[in-house]
Amino acid sequence: MGAAEVSPVAVARVAAAAAMRTPDVVDLHSGVAGEFATYGGGERVAGVRLRRRDPPARLEVRVTARYGRPLDEVAADVRDNVLLDLSGTLPGQPPATVDVRVADLVFPGSGDRS
């Protein structure tokens, strides 16, 4: 094995940052109990999970979006950003697919952050 092994947490952290800089993404969503996350080395990256037990690796990102733009567009932008950043920063290990789940919606100007 010559390839450098990149930890799931490192992959997840890059993906989380890429998702967060997508317009109309308010936050990452880690589920009702905060369980949806990537864990490793005592760290936790909320809202991102890497599945690479069965190759090819799949990445799932869950976000809270702001009401306004069509959500399928927002999700597509999240996917683009995540794939772009992963191929840029983690050469040799790009997950083949990124599943995006719009898990919650907030309305501009309301305190609704449920």
Residue 111 interacts with other proteins (CB under 8 A): yes or no: yes
Residue 71 interacts with other proteins (CB under 8 A): yes or no: yes
Residue 85 interacts with other proteins (CB under 8 A): yes or no: no
Is residue 62 within 8 A of residue 30, CB to CB? The reply is yes
Instruction: Please tell me the total number of residues recorded for the chain in this structure.
Output: 114
- Burial category of 62 from C-beta neighbours within 10 Å (exposed 0-12, middle 13-18, buried 19 and up): buried
Residue 112 interacts with other proteins (CB under 8 A): yes or no: yes
Among 79, 84, 86, 92, binds other proteins (CB under 8 A): 79
Question: From the CB of 59, what's the least distance to other proteins, in Å?
Answer: 8
- Burial category of 98 from C-beta neighbours within 10 Å (exposed 0-12, middle 13-18, buried 19 and up): buried
Question: From the CB of 71, what's the least distance to other proteins, in Å?
Answer: 5
Interaction site with other proteins (CB under 8 A): 58-59, 65, 67, 70-72, 75-76, 79, 83, 96-105, 107, 110-114
